[in-house]
């Protein structure tokens, strides 16, 4: 019961964070970028893959969701930002991320490293406004 409450609470927090990103005219581009990165990593931690997929370009979402939907027994223990390189006056950045996980029935924690390129879209469509991951998600081991 408490676990379900926590899931709802975390999902709500992530959703509100995403909505806050939608009103980015109040925030600097750097602040929106930081919130987007944090929200993406938190969504991975909490197995909120649909939320995490919203940060990707539409053409990459299906493959990302297919990857994680197959991994029903994955438990992500941590997601960390290792490196951040900012370019284009804060409107583009490259990240290196490290994700610790275990996949049942194994209890050995493994680490998966991946890189992502993020770009700020200031387009007219609300679905494209904000930061989006432009690289496809790499093959998961």
Q: Which long-range contacts (CB under 8 A, 24 or more apart) does 110-116 make?
A: 110/141, 112/140, 112/141, 113/82, 114/138
How far, in Å, CA of 136 to CA of 111, rounded? 19
Per-residue pLDDT at 7: 60
Q: Identify the residue with better confidence: 3 or 27.
A: 27
Q: Which domains does the chain have, with CATH numbers?
A: 2-133 (3.10.450.50)
1-22 per-position pLDDT tens digit: 665 655 655 565 565 555 555 5
Helix (H) or strand (E) holding 94: strand 92-103
Helix (H) or strand (E) holding 104: none
62-94 per-position pLDDT tens digit: 999 999 999 999 999 999 999 999 987 889 999
The model's pTM is 0.77
């Amino acid at each position: 019961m408490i676990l379900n409450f926590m899931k709802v609470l975390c999902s709500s927090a992530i959703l509100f964070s995403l909505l806050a990103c939608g009103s980015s005219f109040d925030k600097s581009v750097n602040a929106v970028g930081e919130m987007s990165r944090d929200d993406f990593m938190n969504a991975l931690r909490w197995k909120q893959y649909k939320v995490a997929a919203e940060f990707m370009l539409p053409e990459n979402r299906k493959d990302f969701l297919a990857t994680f939907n197959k991994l029903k027994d994955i438990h992500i223990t941590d997601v960390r930002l290792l490196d951040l390189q900012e370019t284009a006056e804060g409107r583009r950045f490259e990240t290196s991320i490290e994700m610790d996980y275990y996949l049942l029935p194994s209890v050995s924690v493994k680490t998966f490293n991946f890189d992502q390129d993020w770009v700020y879209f200031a387009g007219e469509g609300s679905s494209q406004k904000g930061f989006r991951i432009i690289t496809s998600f790499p093959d998961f081991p």
